Amino acid sequence: MTRLLTPLLIINTKNYLEVSGDKALGLAKAAEAVSHKIGVEIAVAPPTPFLGQIARAVSIPVLSQHVDTDMPGISTGAVVPEIVKSCGAVGSIINHSEKRIPYSLLKDTVNRMNSVGLFSVVCVQTAEEASKVAGLDVDFIAIEPPELIGSGIAVSKAKPEIVSRSVEAVRRVNGTVNVICGAGIVSGDDVASALRLGSAGVLVASGVVKSEDWSNKISELSIPLKSFSNPL
């Protein structure tokens, strides 16, 4: 399994109309160009219908926005990990605030991801939840207070203690898990603040998707990562 480097920028495009059709590939190509130019790790999580198309078209990591535990075969409508992998994706976001799942199902999902050889980026809402999830064999935990998602108010500034407490809580349980943060990240300064709090990267969505110039915005968010990373 190819390793995801840190610090990491993950762009979750969600299902905004701004990334419908061929526009989803346009954003992914913009992220790829910035990743190569600046020399930082950027992953994209496109709308599910475009997962395979984008994974084949770009060299940067591609993630699914969600997976289910359903098995291949008679599982109509499910997002099956084996199919996600066959599309060329390297992992998936799991348990996002807009797609929460019970802890027992989360545990099963992470186990399925590991058995298939896919990365898990598990979203949590509190430091306490981060600590609990750290006990699973996950790769990344993304701390995202739901009230700040899409607000334009960065968690790294509005509630920095949530980020630092989550980092500390996860380290006490499993020092190999990387903690990233999201919710309201819209500027390079927001990213720098997150990194200073111990975050290994950021998860962004509308701050990029709804920006007027994808390349410029992705570059702005990526530059702070460069000073915390080695050249790719």
- pLDDT band for position 148 (cuts 50, 70, 90): low
pTM metric for this prediction:
0.95
State the catalytic residues.
96, 144
- pLDDT band for position 230 (cuts 50, 70, 90): very low
Which pLDDT score, from 0 to 100, does residue 158 have? 72
DSSP for 26-79 reads HHHHHHHHHIIIII-EEEEE--GGGHHHHHHH-SS-BEES----PPSSS-TT--
Q: Which tens digit of pLDDT belongs to each residue from 151-177? A: 666 677 777 888 999 999 999 999 999
Please name each of the domains of the chain with its CATH number: 8-226 (3.20.20.70)
Q: Which tens digit of pLDDT belongs to each residue from 100-121? A: 999 999 999 999 999 999 999 9
The residue-averaged pLDDT of 48-76 equals 97
Q: Which residue has the tokens 């066959």?
A: 86
Measured CA to CA in angstroms, residue 17 lies from 20, 22, 24, 41 at distances of: 5, 11, 9, 25
- The pair of structure tokens assigned to 112 is 């399925």
User: Residue 11's beta-bridge partner residues?
Assistant: 44, 204
